[in-house]
Amino acid sequence: MSSRPTAVNTGNPPALAIDAASLRFGQRQLWSGLSLAVEPGEFVAVLGANGSGKTSLLKVILGQQHLTAGTVFIGGRPAHRGSDDIGYVPQQRRIDTHTPLRARDLVGQGIDGHRWGIGWPRPGRRRQIEAILDKVGAIGYADMPVGLLSGGEQQRVRIAQALVSDPHLLLCDEPLLSLDPRSQGTITALVDRRRHAEGTAVVFVTHEINPVLPYVDRVLYLAGGQFRVGSVEEVLNSRTLSDLYQTPVEVIRASDRILVAGIPESLRHPGHDAHHVVGAS
């Protein structure tokens, strides 16, 4: 089914290896026979209709959801809850204005927020936090309350939080949602820089391919219990998507943008609509 054989690894295990994975909730089959190996430094975008199991896939990788069949390995070890090998950037959510955390504290949670006890300040910890804030360009507001930062700034800090434990795999769940186009650009560029500099593999769930288009190595497209894996050209074309959705879907490539039309209304992501109108004009 998958249009590309899983990469043969040389020495290092893949950052993420999913093999013959199936997930079923009662009668509902989300996907089956899913195999995907993400190599260090690779950028894989996960696209798909609403309810196609993108979020469930993330939960499987995070060890929060068991597969019906198949295996998931993170850096050569079976996926388990709370793995230090995964940095996770959840969907953007407004942080309450009076949350008693500064940007540096939010990043600190990425180091030891899950540990018991109160924790004492260590100089090493502080340096670690400031180094990563500097890398994502957020050191200028390290001491700002997170609740007072803009959406784009908060997302930078969240990426620093996900990266501070030096994970081999960065998992992003719609990190661009409700960000303005400029912030979308800086956030994706930031993620891209990281994978080139440190070889962090990236799995990026998004409903909107265009902001990540310049960086994506491969696409995993989930729809209607099926999936396709391959390069952007291999997956995002009229034939493949029409096949997946079992209805005519038109994919138009306009210079550096991809516009998709004809995805059944009920399966569309809420964000899709507005984009399509803009795309059509």
Partner 1 sequence: MTVLSAPGSSTGGVWQQIFNFADYGQLLALVHNSIIAGVVLGVVGGLISTFVMMRDLPFAVHGISELSFAGASAALLLSVNVVIGSLTGSILAALTIGALGSRARDRNSIIGVLMPFGLGLGVLFLSLYKGRSANKFGLLTGQIVAVDTPQLSWLLGTSALVLLGLLLIWRPLTFASTDPELAAARGVPVGLLSPAFMVLLGLAVAMSIQIVGALLVLSIICTPAAAAMRVSAAPRLVTLLSVLFAVGSVVGGILLSLGSSIPISPYVTTISFAIYLVCRLIGNQRSKHGWSTARRLSTGNALQ
Binding site for partner 1 (CB under 8 A): 62, 64, 81-83, 86, 88, 90, 93, 95, 98-102, 104-106, 109-110, 112-119, 121, 126, 130, 139-148, 161
Choose between 89 and 241: whose C-beta lies nearer to partner 1: 89
Other beta carbons within 10 Å of 30: 22
In the DSSP assignment, the letter for residue 102 is: B
Strand order in the sheet with 226-230: 86-89, 169-173, 201-205, 43-48, 218-223, 226-230
Choose between 86 and 229: whose C-beta lies nearer to partner 1: 86
Best CA proximity match to 27, nearest among 220, 225, 222 = 225
Instruction: Give 59-68's long-range contacts (Cβ < 8 A, gap of 24+).
Output: 60/18, 60/21, 60/23, 61/16, 61/18, 61/86, 61/169, 61/171, 61/203, 62/86, 62/88, 62/171, 65/23, 67/21, 67/22, 67/23, 68/22, 68/23, 68/24, 68/32
Chain centroid offset of residue 85 CA: 15
Other beta carbons within 10 Å of 270: 9
Cα 160 from Cα 156, distance rounded (Å): 6
CB 36 within 8 Å of CB 6: yes
Q: Which residues pair with 25 in a beta bridge?
A: 28
Relative to beta strand 28-38, strand 16-25 is antiparallel
Q: How far is the CB of 30 from partner 1 (least distance, A)?
A: 19
The pair of three-digit structure tokens given for residue 85, joined into one six-digit string: 């090998």
